[in-house]
Structure 1
């Protein structure tokens, strides 16, 4: 089943944030059986996840219940969560603040009693369009050839002075937004906590160096 909308909560430090999860849940099916009990999966999700704090232990408990309702039909279950993490972020050069949102995907697989976790994040950042940069370099070259036509030799200081003039600066046509998509396989599933999402996002933004600002 996919597209199940459930309100939940995310605990970061001591602060709880409300999130709206879109959930995909399913089980495998042995070849001799006709189908799964979809209503049982849906009812278990509503009964045990509604307005609860999202955690690995909670998801593991729900997956075990799903498998119990599919005894002799299935031995594998998975749940996929999609939500947006909201971060109240300070501007770089002022005391202004604004909200930034980060799409998060979290998947838990249960094969019998073995749990595996996957975490996916999207972080938007500012980048320069390479085509615009190439056009700017071309325009500067053309202006240089025009300004120094018929000059047999030019010393380095003259070129440096020319490059420093405001009138020859050709700005990029535009900057663009890019998205870093990061997918992680979690090795230590028993000790994993979703609280690390904020730290991972901050590490990614620091590595990129040009994080998008909510307030400028």
Structure 2
């Protein structure tokens, strides 16, 4: 005969009276592993590994705890079968609130995953995959559903001041190596292609644009590819994947055409985001991981 008690006889101390009665803003779980069904760049769908934080407010000050396992079980399979969009998130979050049976009227879900996008090379016929970190924050409460999309884009930044100082040294070496009026075109061209033709190079570094976007209420899907394309186009020097010599040369040319301080980069990002009608508000930070300094150059910008 089994000695294991039936489930309806198991004690549930979460229903006990709270010792220090108080409302709680957020109670739940962090870093839950789950599969996530997302739209890919070709309009299809793919399942990716993700992590999630989910929690509710506790609106009964006398209740000791929420029904945490119900949140976990609702979340585990809800996002693996249907492509992630506004409607799917709204349904999942409504189910989570209802599972608490009056203990909560607000739920917040944060999803984190890597969006793989295939990016073409600059000059050759090659291409490669790049991962863009994505975070989606969904809040459902008495005022409705609010969606926030965060992502990061890597790019190269070449310092305008360093470029000007390098040009001055290059000009000084040219003046030292050539006599005015006695220089042929071929001699100058050969000199420019020689090691003597490069007295200095400006410093450049890998940089990062982190953006957080509040999406408008009429946005049903997450425009990740469109936002990435807009940011990389605005910055002009996105970090590359497949690189042959012709691609590296094209990248060097782009850096020369897009000299920028962190202030310049922040304004470029702001211009791209403010022009997107799907974005109700943006908060952006650009970080240049300086090769000259031991510290970073950082700028922040926000707007509607």
TM-score (normalizing by structure 1): 0.81
Which residue of structure 2 aligns with residue 36 of structure 1?
Answer: 66
Q: CA deviation at 1:108?
A: 0.7
Residue from 185, 192, 196 that aligns with 2:220: 192
C-alpha distance after superposition, 1:27-58 (max 9, x if no partner): 01123322222111111111322354212211
Residues 64 and 200 of structure 1: is their aligned pair in 2 closer, same or farther, counting only changes over 3 Å?
Answer: same
Residue from 77, 83, 104 that aligns with 1:74: 104
Structure 2: distance between partners of 1:8 and 1:127: 34
Q: CA deviation at 1:199?
A: 1.0
Q: CA deviation at 1:137?
A: 6.1
Residues 69 and 113 of structure 1: is their aligned pair in 2 closer, same or farther, counting only changes over 3 Å?
Answer: farther
1:48 and 2:78 are equivalent in the alignment: yes
Residue from 24, 39, 47 that aligns with 1:11: 39
1:116 and 2:146 are equivalent in the alignment: yes
Structure 2: distance between partners of 1:93 and 1:142: 33
Q: CA deviation at 1:133?
A: 4.7
Which residue of structure 1 aligns with residue 52 of structure 2?
Answer: 23
Which residue of structure 1 aligns with residue 276 of structure 2?
Answer: none
Q: Is the 8 A contact 1:6 1:46 kept in 2?
A: yes
Structure 2: distance between partners of 1:36 and 1:139: 68
1:206 and 2:224 are equivalent in the alignment: no
Residue from 117, 122, 125 that aligns with 1:92: 122
Q: Is the 8 A contact 1:6 1:51 kept in 2?
A: no
Q: CA deviation at 1:144?
A: 8.0
Structure 1: distance between partners of 2:151 and 2:82: 22
Q: Is the 8 A contact 1:76 1:111 kept in 2?
A: yes
Q: Is the 8 A contact 2:136 2:150 kept in 1?
A: yes
Q: Is the 8 A contact 2:109 2:138 kept in 1?
A: yes
C-alpha distance after superposition, 1:90-138 (max 9, x if no partner): 1110111100111111111001360111111100111125786587468
* RMSD of aligned residue pairs (Cα, Å): 3.1
Q: Which has the higher contact order (CA 8 A, sep 6+)?
A: 1
Which residue of structure 1 aligns with residue 250 of structure 2?
Answer: none
TM-score (normalizing by structure 2): 0.59
Q: Is the 8 A contact 2:170 2:200 kept in 1?
A: no
Residues 130 and 22 of structure 1: is their aligned pair in 2 closer, same or farther, counting only changes over 3 Å?
Answer: farther
Which residue of structure 2 aligns with residue 62 of structure 1?
Answer: 92
Structure 2: distance between partners of 1:114 and 1:198: 26
Structure 2: distance between partners of 1:201 and 1:91: 16
Residues 79 and 134 of structure 1: is their aligned pair in 2 closer, same or farther, counting only changes over 3 Å?
Answer: same
Please, which runs of 5 or more residues in structure 2 have no aligned partner? 1-28, 244-304
Residues 136 and 28 of structure 1: is their aligned pair in 2 closer, same or farther, counting only changes over 3 Å?
Answer: same
